[in-house]
Amino acid sequence: MVNAKEISNFLGTTTIVVGDSKKVVYKISKIIPGKVGTLSFCKYEDGRAKGLISRSRSSIIICSSQISLFVSDFIGKTFILVPQPRLAFMKAANEFFPWRDTPGIHPTAVISNAEIGKNVRIGAGTVIGGEGFGYMPDENGELIQFPHIGGVIIEDNVEIGVNVCIDRGALGDTIIGRGTKIDNLVHVAHNVKIGKNCQIICLVGIGGSVEIGDNSFVGISACIRNQIKIGKNAVIGMGAVVVKNVPDNMTVAGNPANPIPK
């Protein structure tokens, strides 16, 4: 149980409580239909917000500071006004209404040749540290595999979903940087280096020796060719086929992937 003032104090000095600051909530819910005793949020800043709020039964609603002019119209409702409602709701929910198990490795995950940092989550069916795919034909056309004697380094606060495959390095290591989040059904090939706080979404295939800079986002079903370098703060669009290096701060999409004008 927590009241509006406590939530506001936790969220910081940029928040404003409108209504009863002592009103309490016991859990979180969607804004529609909402429920008495719950905390919700409204992401809109226009007339849609007014419509949602009028229909919601939630006791406390986190809203954008931009709608401060009309929230006072709703007698009996309590609001916490913030610059970014969705982010504020996420922070409050995780602080006051924990919904996740403690970090850890699912018992069905298979891990070898890996160093695992602190506060790491690894989902069911994930395989980390298997051999990478690297072959070359000999003089008779027989495929000879390149040695894979490296490992996998997973830094602190990384989250890896279910049925993910992360290959060990060939002669070096595959590295997943601190704070990075990897969704379900992603393949990370040998010697890949993913930076800090990246988001890699489901069905992505990352070829060998790819480098991805800090804070980058790789969308659903994107494919990144081996040896490609992706800069910091880059965005790789859904279904993109990346065959050229991507500079810092660039958004690309399509097949082959090309820059999207801002």
- Sheet of strand 205-206, all strands in order from the earlier edge strand to the far edge: 110-111, 127-130, 165-167, 187-188, 205-206, 223-224, 241-242
Residues 212, 187: Cα–Cα separation, whole Å? 14
Residues 242, 223: Cα–Cα separation, whole Å? 6
Residues 49, 72: Cα–Cα separation, whole Å? 13
- DSSP state at residue 233: T
Backbone angles phi, psi at 184, to 5 degrees: -65, 150
Reference 193, options 169, 176, 206; nearest CA is: 176
Measure the CA angle with vertex 201, ends 168 and 41; round to 5°.
140
Catalytic annotation present for 190 = yes
The count of other CB atoms within 10 Å of the CB of residue 88 is 24
Between 4-11 and 85-96, two packed helices, what is the crossing angle to 10 degrees?
110
Torsion, Cα 237 242 245 249, to 10 degrees, reads 0
Decide: residue 47, CB within 10 A, 0-12 exposed, 13-18 middle, 19+ buried.
exposed
- Tell me which residues are annotated as active site: 190
